[in-house]
Copies of this chain bind each other. A is one copy, B any other.
Amino acid sequence: MMVEIRTPISVDEAINRLMKYKFEGTSETVSFHVCDGRRLAEPIVATSHVPSFDKSPYDGFAFRSEDTAAAKEGKAITFEVVEHIGAGTVPEKHIQPFQATRIMTGAQIPEGADCVEMFEKCEEFTNDGRSFITVEHQMKSGQNIIATGSEVKEGSVLIEKGTFIDPGVKALLATFGYAEVKVAKKPVVGVLATGTELLDIDEPLEPGKIRNSNAYMICSQIERAGGDYQYYGALPDELDSSYDKMKSTLEEVDVLITTGGVSVGDFDLIPEIYEKLEAEVLFNKVAQRPGSVTTVAHAKGKLLFGLSGNPSACFVGFELYTRPILQHALMNPNIFAVRAKALLAEDFPKTNPFSRFVRSYVTLENGQLHVHLAGMDKSNVVSSLARTTSLMELPASETGVKQGDEVEVLLLHVNERQNTFR
């Protein structure tokens, strides 16, 4: 048997080729009550002025400012309190000269009144069962009144399409009566594992076998990225049945991911299946570690991601290539992981002819981003993935990097389902 020689392309070139096949997402309308964590498929437009009526910012008294023209310390102006309204109660009395309305925070200003003074700055008294206040200072027209539309004008665009729906966005949707919300539909991503060595998670270990962790990890990555996953089980190392399964699966999903079977091993069937599917292979060798065998193809109008069977390579392959495709379909304007500069917290002496994506996590110290290794960087060690919140990207180098060096990191836990940085 001959070992196939593949020529590696750069990560940038791989992404360029892939981006030609990114596809537009569709939208669907969901109830306000279940829209958390989705992305807006249309901007939020103010359906009314905010506030929608002139209102009071304080608990106090509303009256005519012109009545205070002669007021000064020692010369009090007296107003009769003719009505008493709380928030949600509509004032009924039209305020006449030297009349006042007792008004609560958020309540509507009565007609005739053009200012509000706080309780603390008025003197109250009663006389013969009637209520009065006195004011010893002048007031200006509009003073302490939140005018209609002063916060938001009806029709203004408040939040852009593609925004992740978090509690603040929800408050805005509620304010403007968006009982239904148009959101980006979750792309459906099929997942197929390959390899006869795979046991399911509830099976006891057997000699020569390992439990299937990749497929479930990818399902979790899809969910975190905002997609819907559909797990179709593991393919046996047998060409015809694997081809049939992939072909039928492809019809049911927007994107198909396989794990394993993309290498040049004797039992790696994915390349042959792609050929049978008449898929256009965009790339099958990338100058990166881990995940150099990551293969992406296009068939029947859909993208096929052939991720490595190695857990770390599989993880990295998803984040680098599949995730941006899903973000685009989800209308996220920032489809790539946030890239930031960070100071390396410990030496990393390994050299590499390829770009390396090192499992790591970041900390903030005095406002400065630092990056730490998540564990042994053997591509076959699964445990460090559980501590990974970033990938440190090291360019090909013959020297390695040292503690204190500035390096680039891809932040995996931000801007996927949350807009932490923008």
Identify the A interface with B (CB < 8 A): 1, 3, 32-33, 36, 44, 48, 50-53, 57, 59, 84-91, 102, 104-108, 119-120, 124, 146, 151-152, 158-159, 163, 166-179, 195-198, 201-205, 207-214, 216-218, 220-221, 223-224, 237, 263-267, 309, 311, 315, 338, 340-343, 361-364, 366-369, 376, 378, 380-389, 406, 411, 413-414, 418-422
Contact = CB atoms under 8 A, between A and B. Distances in A.
A420 B362 contact: yes
Contacts of A364: 338, 340-341, 369, 421
A167 B382 CA distance: 11
A366 B221 CA distance: 27
A160 to B, nearest CB: 10
Contacts of A421: 362-364, 389
A197 B106 contact: yes
A169 B386 contact: yes
B196 A177 contact: no
A419 B389 contact: yes
Contacts of A420: 362, 389, 411, 413-414, 420
Contact of A388 (B48, B168, B384): B168
Given A36-B220, A105-B309, A174-B217, 8 more contacts: A51-B210, A88-B195, A88-B209, A106-B195, A108-B208, A168-B384, A171-B311, A367-B369
A207 B88 CA distance: 8
B198 A88 contact: yes
A142 B253 CA distance: 45
B217 A167 contact: yes
16 contacts: A57-B380, A87-B309, A90-B207, A105-B263, A151-B378, A159-B386, A167-B315, A169-B386, A171-B216, A171-B220, A171-B311, A172-B213, A175-B382, A364-B369, A367-B406, A369-B369
A393 B57 CA distance: 24
Top 7 nearest A-B pairs by Cβ distance? A88-B197, A168-B385, A88-B196, A167-B220, A174-B213, A341-B367, A171-B217
Nearest to A314: B171
Given A196-B88, A422-B363, A382 B172 contact: yes
Which of A171, A173, A369, A406 has the most C-beta atoms of chain B within 10 angstroms of its own C-beta? A171
Contacts of A216: 32-33, 170-171, 174
A382 B3 contact: no
A88 B367 contact: no
B389 A53 contact: no
Contacts of A146: 380
Contacts of A51: 210
Given A177-B203, A210-B52, A265-B86, A172 B385 contact: yes
The winner among A198, A203, A221 for most chain B CB atoms within 10 A is A221
Contact of A382 (B89, B105, B171, B224): B171
A369 B309 CA distance: 37
B309 A106 contact: yes
Given A221-B167, A386-B159, A86 B178 contact: no
A291 to B, nearest CB: 14
